């Protein structure tokens, strides 16, 4: 169906792709994996017509293509569903599906035809009864994902590229998505499936193409061992990154939370966190687990003073009361926060690596309002070395770094303050296996230095790997607590869904 021949792409100072040749066959799901920065996104952007200046050839149905825009790629039958959804939230489902291709008669929008075509496009990929007149932003992420796929197929997509499509989906929505992919595959539609989740790759893909440092290092069957794929991605054996780490029992309580309640932001009288109490000792990781909406993120946000609605209860750090009114007060008390969305809330993407690393401690680097640039650079260089942050240089925009290295910068900016408590919300979301292993080692090191860590994660193997204790939340309340010897994915899930489990 499609042949990529000796594809190369260079950015200033960076060789993103070098001589990548790859075939995409009719009726197959081709997995595309690699560490962040391996070249996956660049390759897909060339295929999608985003980049017009590249080396090599893109051949579709035997014809060499020269895409100058995404519209050219769509006309050639290439549909791409990016990880960050591109629907316009305030427009209806029907309008989003046919945006730019609205049917008209005598220059007037033909509403009846628009809805008929939109309905056909949805039925082609899902049996769900999705209201065509609903605002796209009012629907769940899983439904929006289906709308994106329907639009890609409806654009004449003979090849569908899915970039991390399950990052924000529930397990039920993942099952629905897989059913759609398998159904379209049976009809002969090929897919390119990009994911860091190797269990999904194994369940869905016929072949897996592995990129490393801009080069294609191999193509293996979809049922290849995950360890073998990881070794190809990283160029080294990682061992079991999910093996629990034994730690000595923590010291005295550092963080004490009593009767934390966080009000629902839109429903008066309701709480998203209700009567949450726990302690975290020095050198200990306490995880908050549970289904989406269970209150994990709301709890961490409240502790850092950024709850979307009112928060009450008592919080102490090293025995001293902490107000939950602002991040400034939380930081002064020794609390640091690594948010779920690093790009929107953890970094200033247009600033340099140095500037981002200095953000939390500018007052320490300045005198009479003048920043000591030499001191800032020395500190940033030390952080770059200590955290093994891979960057072209201290002056590089942080937006150009891979996801794993961006996350290290988010963590690194707090280390100058030596926080007593580190709040981590989905710390490895969207990073590859190699970067995940490095982040785990970094967290282990921080805990070994005596930091108290509160982790919120939907990645159950991650919780098993990192946590000394787990509080499982359900509807904002603690459904049960698990200690190190009892922490398993099954035990967490049983508590999260309301079934009996062994509780410490």
Angle at 79 between CA 63 and CA 190, to 5 degrees: 70
Contact of 192 with 110, CB cutoff 8 Å: no
Residue 326 pLDDT: 93
Distance CA 246, CA 265 (A): 39
H or E stretch covering 216: strand 215-221
> What CATH superfamily is the domain 253-497?
P-loop containing nucleotide triphosphate hydrolases (3.40.50.300)
Tens digit of each residue's pLDDT (9 = 90 or more) over 37-80: 788 888 988 888 888 888 988 888 888 888 888 888 888 888 88
H or E element in which residue 120 lies: helix 111-123
Paired sense of beta strands 104-105 and 63-65, if any: unpaired
CB-based contact 427:407 (threshold 8 Å)? yes
> Of all helices (H) and strands (E), which one includes residue 227?
helix 226-234
Position 502 scores a pLDDT of 41
What's the whole-number mean pLDDT along residues 163-175?
Answer: 74
Rounded Cα gap, residues 278 and 304, in angstroms:
16
| 403 Cβ neighbours under 8 A, 6+ residues apart | 36, 342, 430, 431, 432, 435
Residue 207 or 240, more confident: 207
Rounded Cα gap, residues 377 and 371, in angstroms: 11
Read off the pLDDT band of 253 (50, 70, 90).
very high
Average pLDDT in the 386-411 region? 87
Per-chain mean pLDDT for the chain: 85
> Model confidence at 236, in pLDDT bands (50, 70, 90)?
low
The alpha-carbon radius of gyration of the chain (Å, integer) is: 24
Q: Within the chain, which residue ranges are assigned CATH 3.40.50.300?
A: 2-234, 253-497
Q: What is the pLDDT of residue 22?
A: 92
pLDDT at 501: 42
> Which residues are within 8 A (CB) of 56 and not within 5 positions of it... i.e. 6 or more apart?
4, 5, 6, 7, 8, 19, 20, 21
Average pLDDT of the segment spanning 170-174: 72
Lowest mean per-residue pLDDT among 9-18, 92-101, 490-499 = 490-499
Higher pLDDT: 480 or 503? It is 480
Residue 169's pLDDT band (cuts 50, 70, 90): low
Confidence check: pLDDT of 225 > 90: no
| Dihedral of the alpha carbons of 404, 406, 411, 415, in degrees to the nearest 10 | 120
Q: Give 374's contacts (C-beta < 8 A, 6+ positions apart).
A: none
CATH of 2-234, one of 3.20.20.150, 3.40.50.10900, 1.25.40.10, 3.40.50.300: 3.40.50.300
Mean pLDDT of 289-296: 81
pLDDT value at 123 more than 60: yes
Q: What angle separates helix 141-154 from helix 111-123, to the nearest 10 degrees?
A: 100
């Amino acid at each position: 169906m499609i042949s990529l021949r000796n594809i190369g792409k260079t950015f200033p100072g960076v060789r993103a792709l070098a001589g990548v040749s790859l075939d995409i066959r009719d009726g197959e799901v081709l997995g595309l994996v690699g560490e962040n920065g391996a070249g996956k996104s660049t390759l897909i952007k060339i295929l999608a017509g985003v980049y017009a200046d590249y080396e090599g050839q893109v051949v579709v149905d035997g014809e060499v293509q020269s895409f100058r825009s995404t519209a050219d790629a769509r006309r050639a039958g290439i549909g791409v569903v990016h990880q960050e959804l591109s629907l316009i939230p305030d427009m209806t489902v029907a309008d989003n599906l046919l945006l730019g291709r609205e049917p008209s008669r005598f220059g007037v929008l033909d509403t009846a035809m628009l809805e008929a075509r939109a309905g056909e496009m949805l039925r082609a990929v899902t049996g769900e009864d999705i209201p065509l007149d609903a605002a796209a932003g009012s629907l769940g992420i899983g439904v929006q994902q289906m709308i994106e796929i329907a639009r890609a197929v409806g654009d004449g997509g003979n090849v569908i590229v899915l970039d991390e499509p399950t990052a924000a989906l529930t397990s039920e929505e993942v099952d629905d998505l897989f059913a759609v992919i398998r159904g379209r595959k049976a009809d002969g539609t090929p897919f390119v499936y990009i994911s860091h989740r190797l269990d999904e790759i194994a369940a869905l893909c016929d072949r897996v193409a592995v990129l490393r440092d801009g080069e294609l290092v191999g193509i293996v069957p979809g049922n290849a061992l995950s360890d073998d794929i990881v070794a190809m991605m990283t160029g080294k054996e990682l061992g079991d990154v999910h093996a629990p780490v034994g730690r000595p029992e923590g010291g005295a309580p550092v963080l004490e939370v009593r009767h934390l309640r966080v009000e629902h932001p839109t429903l008066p009288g309701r709480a998203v966190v209700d009567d949450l109490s726990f302690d975290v000792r020095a050198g200990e990781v306490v995880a908050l687990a549970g289904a989406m909406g269970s209150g994990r993120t709301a709890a961490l946000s409240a502790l850092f003073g950024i709850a979307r609605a009112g928060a009450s209860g008592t919080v102490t750090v090293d025995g001293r009361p902490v107000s939950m009114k602002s991040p400034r007060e939380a930081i002064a008390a020794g609390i640091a926060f690594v948010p779920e969305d690093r790009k929107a809330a953890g970094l200033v993407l247009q600033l340099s690596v140095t500037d981002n690393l200095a953000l939390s401690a500018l007052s320490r680097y300045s005198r009479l309002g003048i920043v000591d640039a030499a001191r800032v650079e020395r500190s940033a260089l030390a952080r770059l070395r200590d955290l093994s942050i891979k960057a072209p240089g201290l002056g590089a925009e942080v937006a150009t770094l891979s996801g794993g290295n961006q996350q290290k910068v988010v963590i690194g900016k707090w280390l100058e303050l030596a926080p007593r408590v580190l709040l981590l919300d989905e710390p490895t979301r969207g990073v590859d296996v190699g970067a995940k292993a490095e982040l785990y080692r970094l967290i282990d090191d921080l805990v070994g230095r005596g930091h108290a860590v509160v982790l919120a994660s939907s990645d159950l193997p991650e919780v098993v790997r990192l946590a000394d204790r787990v509080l499982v939340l359900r509807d904002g309340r603690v459904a049960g607590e698990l200690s190190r010897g009892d922490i398993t994915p099954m035990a967490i899930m049983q508590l999260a869904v309301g079934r009996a489990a062994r509780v410490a």
